[in-house]
């Protein structure tokens, strides 16, 4: 006989991203009261469980209640507590929301205080992000972009198969899903034989990525070993690392992206914990040559996350599917990237954000950027509904990312990561 699927007393359809098996954390406040303090919540079906209200009701141990940890406007303090505390809170929430547990289910007053429809909530950035690092960890993506810019014979730089390549991004411009982003201006060189020019980005792209928030972190000078990296990863979100390709092509030598990337990065609001992702662990691609010992990660360190990129144009009545890919294609794992980031002794702090880099798969429909879909703008992509063509993003376009792990009769999902392109600043 098959094991019974755990269920909540709150109805959750099979296609929902937020069953009781997920329970992602986020920061919210009611739309009807902009003066209300933001606080910590957990998604369950189409509702939000207000953890501040649950704490006030005395349903968490005193260590959480006295500190007011769920009354805060970021997850940083909770992230800092570490995995034992995260697991304890998750176990309490799971029990409270279970269909056969009366404590919340049968307490009408508490339910009215503690359960808020997601439609009535404004979601905020989940953490105060001190530092943000973006990696370049998809072999397919790196090969495609490298081929376009340097030719097939120099697609991967000599170091790529030996270390996770990354650069330090700009934390101040990381925004939550739903925040419009403005087309940047900058310096480009459209013609190789002529001087550079200044003006609006003409080659605006999205990048489908995933990212993870750091929990306790490490002291300055003390690396995080690869086998301990998961203890420092609180959870994951979907990310759109917007890219001004023409600015980047001109400026990236020799130090990498700068203004091409620092103007906007969008993240989904719900942070899915590693506990929720555990049953979806898979092995990543075979790594050849074998990494150096400090990067060797023998266990299944990737996750089977189905990812989708949609484009909604101003003329279209519905989003158009551009690509479907999977996080399991990533060459370098989250554990390896975290370990490499700290091998120098760099200290991570609670709320720091690390991103995977663009996630592309091996097939034409699994490419994580327009640059790859249109092969550097050499061909157009057609929107079936309207017949519109796109080489790169236009003003008014909305990019929608979503993703989920498929369980047996349920999904552990990430919700949506949405951003609309506004015209360049006057």
Per-residue confidence in pLDDT tens, the chain, 426 aa:
345 678 999 999 999 999 999 999 999 999 988 788 999 999 999 999 999 999 999 999 988 877 899 999 999 999 999 999 999 999 999 999 999 999 999 999 999 999 999 999 999 999 999 999 999 999 999 999 999 988 888 899 999 999 999 999 999 999 999 999 999 999 999 999 999 999 999 999 999 999 999 999 999 999 999 999 999 999 999 999 999 999 999 999 899 999 999 999 999 999 999 999 999 999 999 999 999 999 999 889 999 999 999 999 999 999 999 999 999 999 999 999 999 999 999 999 999 999 999 999 999 999 999 999 999 999 999 999 999 999 999 999 999 999 999 999 999 999 999 999 999 988
Q: Phi, psi at residue 24, to the nearest 5°?
A: -75, 155
CATH 2.30.30.230 in the chain, residue ranges: 25-124
Token digits for 126?
């989940």
CATH 3.90.850.10 in the chain, residue ranges: 132-422
Place of tokens 């700009």: 170
pLDDT for the residue 369: 98
- Nearest-Å Rg of the Cα atoms of the chain is 22
Paired strand residues for 398: 312, 420
C-alpha separations of 172 from 175, 176, 353 in Å: 8, 12, 12
pLDDT for the residue 217: 96
Q: Please state, as a whole number, how many other Cβ atoms lie within 10 Å of the Cβ of residue 199.
A: 12
3-class secondary structure, 312: strand
pLDDT for the residue 2: 45
pLDDT for the residue 66: 78
Q: Tell me: domain 132-422, CATH 3.90.850.10, correct? A: yes
* CB distance 305 to 412 below 8 Å: no
pLDDT for the residue 280: 98
pLDDT for the residue 4: 62
- Distance (Å, rounded) from C-alpha 401 to C-alpha 209? 9
pLDDT for the residue 108: 97
- Distance (Å, rounded) from C-alpha 212 to C-alpha 374? 29
The answer for 199, left when phi > 0, alpha when psi is -120 to 50, beta otherwise, is: left
Sign of CA dihedral 45, 309, 26, 34: negative
Nearest-5° angle of CA 403, CA 265, CA 365? 40
Sign of CA dihedral 328, 331, 337, 343: positive
- Looking at CATH, the fold of the domain delimited by 25-124 is given as SH3 type barrels. (2.30.30)
66 Cβ neighbours under 8 A, 6+ residues apart = none
Active site residues per annotation: 141
pLDDT for the residue 1: 39
Say if strands 353-355 and 132-135 run parallel, antiparallel, or are unpaired. Answer: parallel
């Amino acid at each position: 006989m098959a094991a019974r699927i755990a269920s909540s007393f709150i109805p959750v359809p099979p296609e929902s991203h937020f069953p009781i098996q997920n329970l992602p954390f986020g920061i919210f406040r009611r739309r009807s009261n902009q003066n209300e303090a933001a606080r910590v919540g957990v998604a369950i079906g189409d509702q939000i469980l207000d953890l501040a209200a649950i704490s006030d009701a005395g349903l968490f141990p005193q260590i959480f209640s006295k500190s007011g940890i769920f009354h805060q406007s970021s997850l940083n303090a909770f992230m800092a507590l570490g995995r034992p505390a995260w697991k304890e809170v998750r176990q309490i929430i799971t029990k409270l929301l279970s269909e056969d547990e009366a404590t919340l289910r049968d307490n009408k007053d508490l339910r009215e205080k503690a359960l808020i429809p997601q439609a009535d909530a404004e979601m905020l950035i989940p953490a105060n992000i001190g530092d943000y690092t973006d990696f370049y960890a998809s072999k397919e993506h790196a090969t495609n972009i490298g081929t376009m810019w340097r030719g097939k014979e120099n697609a991967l730089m000599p170091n790529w198969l030996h270390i996770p390549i990354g650069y330090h991004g700009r934390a101040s411009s990381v925004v939550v899903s739903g925040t419009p982003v403005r087309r940047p201006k900058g310096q480009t060189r459209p013609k190789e034989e002529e001087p550079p020019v200044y003006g609006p980005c003409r080659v605006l792209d999205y990048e489908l990525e995933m990212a993870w928030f750091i929990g306790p972190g490490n002291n300055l000078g003390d690396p995080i070993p690869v086998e301990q990296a998961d203890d420092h990863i609180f959870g994951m979100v979907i990310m759109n690392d917007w890219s001004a390709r023409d600015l980047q092509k001109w400026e990236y030598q020799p130090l990498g992206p700068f203004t091409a990337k620092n103007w906007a990065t969008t993240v989904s609001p719900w942070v899915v914990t590693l506990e929720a992702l555990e049953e979806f662990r898979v092995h990543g691609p075979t790594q050849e040559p074998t990494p150096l010992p400090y990067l060797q990660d023998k266990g299944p360190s990737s996750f089977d996350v189905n990812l989708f990129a949609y484009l909604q144009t101003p003329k279209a009545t519905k989003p158009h599917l551009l690509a479907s890919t999977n996080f399991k294609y990533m060459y370098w794992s989250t554990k390896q990237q975290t370990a490499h980031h700290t091998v120098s002794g760099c200290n991570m702090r609670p709320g720091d954000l690390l991103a995977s880099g663009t996630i592309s798969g091996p097939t034409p429909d699994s490419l994580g950027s327009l640059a790859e879909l249109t092969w550097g703008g050499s061909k157009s992509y057609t929107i079936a509904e309207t017949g519109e063509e796109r080489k790169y993003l236009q003003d008014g376009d909305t990019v929608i990312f979503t993703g989920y792990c498929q369980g047996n009769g349920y999904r552990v999902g990430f919700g949506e990561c949405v951003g609309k392109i506004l015209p360049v600043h006057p």
